[in-house]
């Protein structure tokens, strides 16, 4: 039956890609060519999302992955929207699918900014001020 369906559609079944020797290397965000606008946009969006969520050190692994997924979805969606606005043919149903995917990912990540705990930084600054205070008064009296 599958052979009959191929003939009816007038298309041939694509052949399987030849197997590569060795291990498959999966790419990550760090493998992106940072010179391309798409990669730059994706990295900027990812970094902005991570900052909005309180910083990389405050996020779980899944939250970091969601931030990267949302960033890639945003980059692809931006590309499709710009092409459509330029009058280029864009499959609107695919664009809608990507937008829905982005919206679901963004909802899972959350749209509210999370405050970053700066208590340790505050304590470090106060301690530095305490240790610097005697030095300043000595310098002021010498002048």
- Within 8 A by CB and 6+ apart from 110, the residues are 53
Q: Which two tokens stand for residue 57?
A: 């050190």
Question: What are the structural domain ranges in the chain?
Answer: 31-142
CA distance 136 to 143: 11
Per residue of the chain (143 residues), give pLDDT as tens: 444 444 444 444 456 555 666 788 888 878 878 888 888 999 999 999 999 998 898 889 999 999 999 999 999 999 999 999 999 999 999 999 999 999 999 998 887 777 766 666 777 788 888 887 666 655 566 65
pTM, two decimal places? 0.61
């Amino acid at each position: 039956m599958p052979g009959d369906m191929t003939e009816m559609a007038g298309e041939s079944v694509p052949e399987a890609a030849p197997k590569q020797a060795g291990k498959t290397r999966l790419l990550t965000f760090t493998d992106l060519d940072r010179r391309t606008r798409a990669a730059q946009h994706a990295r900027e969006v990812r970094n902005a999302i991570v900052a909005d969520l309180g910083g990389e050190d405050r996020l779980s692994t899944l939250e970091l992955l969601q931030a990267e997924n949302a960033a890639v979805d945003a980059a692809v969606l931006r590309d499709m929207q710009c092409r459509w606005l330029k009058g280029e043919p864009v499959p609107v149903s695919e664009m809608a699918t990507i937008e829905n995917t982005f919206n679901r990912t963004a909802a899972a990540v959350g749209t509210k900014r999370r405050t970053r705990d700066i208590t340790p930084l505050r304590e470090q600054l106060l301690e530095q001020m305490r240790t610097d205070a005697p030095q300043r008064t000595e310098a002021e009296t010498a002048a």
